[in-house]
Amino acid sequence: MEKSENITNKGTLVLTKAVFNILLEKIIDHFSSKHNINFPSYKENQLYGFGNYNIELPNLKKDLESVLKGYINGKYLYNKNREASTGKPFIKISREYKYVFFNYLGFKDIHEFINQDFFTPRQKSKQLELLHQENKVEDYYYVCYYYGEDKKMSKGQVIVYRQWKNVEMKYIYEDDYGQTGIYSFFGSITHSENFVFFDTKFFLGSKKNEGAKFIFFIGKSAPHERNFLIGTYSGFDKYDNTIAGKMILKKSDSRLDMEKEVSNKEFDPIISQELNKKRIIVESVIRKSPLLFSSKSPYAQVLFNISGKYLLEFHQDNNTYAIKINIEKHHLNIKSLNDSFMIKEDRISLINNGQIINMDFSIKGLFYIQKASIYVNTYGLLEGNNDTTSGKFTAVDVNSNIISGKVKFENLKN
């Protein structure tokens, strides 16, 4: 976390995007009038004075240096223009640049400039709000972790501005050829009860588009008091698929620390464990039939016909361990019918083109088997086919041994 004042932070001036754009417009108009230059034929690098430009021809670098009577980086104003064009809500002008741009136009500082008739009342009031705010405003830096598009853990940059009112997010991808792509989002933050909501946008050319949405739980404390925030996101990925998933934000002490962590290819095992595979993908394809929703859809009716109450007998060597379960219709939850233990982390799926049912669950309580994975023929378990059917299981017992054997399903008639 780094502290900053809206007017000056180590010589930093914060401008709204609207004020900066008008400032740049006035600078270019003044330059054009002074040198009798017709735009837009003038090249950008010649205008600002950087790269392969002709130092003998007029350029802003030379003009500004004559005002400052010192060195000016010709690309500084160009870079700030690029920041504004991406939709960044605030532009920070640092060091000598926070005076020389206004001096070039004949103004002492931002205060004289903002009092001109260049601005609408709303534009002026938003800038004055920044200038007159007495309390110090802190920017907060976070690394966001999530399970990304290419089935890999990913990192991004999150910068929170104006005491949790605005957010900037950057996602950096590297392709197979080592080329880096950056996706930038800007948005507003709202607070409701124990949550904060990020509503982001991105710019494609000059058009503003809807970005991703984020919800993070903060509890009763202020969000910046927490080193970690856990929440969810929904939006679209770089392949234009609709996606949702779990995300963790880790607070950094500074922008440099955040950028250093994002560039690091390593991931904290604790964070990876929490986020791996925590991603929902809805492909951008129009389905003409519900049977085309996914590869599992044609077998859905089969899956829902296995509901009911069963006695499960696990046979391992010469030992037998029995439990009673209820597979709920519609919901496909596996519930324990025994009072001494509960069933958790349950999942039922069809594999091998719907021919095999796979059940995974953990048992919490007093039972020899603690975690089991069961495979049973679909036809044998369908309602009305058999009173009993058999399958195979692998499991972890109460002593943390891996065991396997035969499992028998007996249908408990109501």
Tokens linked to 286: 């129009």
Tokens linked to 383: 């309602």
Q: Report the pLDDT value the prediction gives residue 38, as an integer from 0 to 100.
A: 80
pTM of the model: 0.63
Q: Identity (one letter) of the amino acid at 13?
A: L
Residue ranges of the chain with pLDDT lower than 70? Answer: 1-11, 133-137, 205-206, 383-385, 414
Q: How far apart are CA 184 and CA 201, in angstroms?
A: 9
Residue with tokens 């802190």: 138
Q: What is the pLDDT of residues 243-278, one digit of tens each?
A: 999 999 999 999 999 999 999 989 999 999 999 999
Q: Report the pLDDT value the prediction gives residue 5, as an integer from 0 to 100.
A: 38
Closest listed residue to residue 93, CA positions, set 179, 159, 4, 176: 4
Q: Report the pLDDT value the prediction gives residue 136, as an integer from 0 to 100.
A: 56
Length of the chain measured in residues: 414
Q: Which helix (H) or strand (E) holds 230?
A: strand 228-236
The secondary structure of 153-211, three-state, reads EEEEEEEEECCCCEEEEEEEEECCCCCEEEEEEEEEEEEECCEEEEEEEEEECCEEEEE
Q: What are phi and psi of 134, to 5 degrees?
A: -85, -35
Coil, strand or helix at 280: strand
Q: Report the pLDDT value the prediction gives residue 291, as an integer from 0 to 100.
A: 74
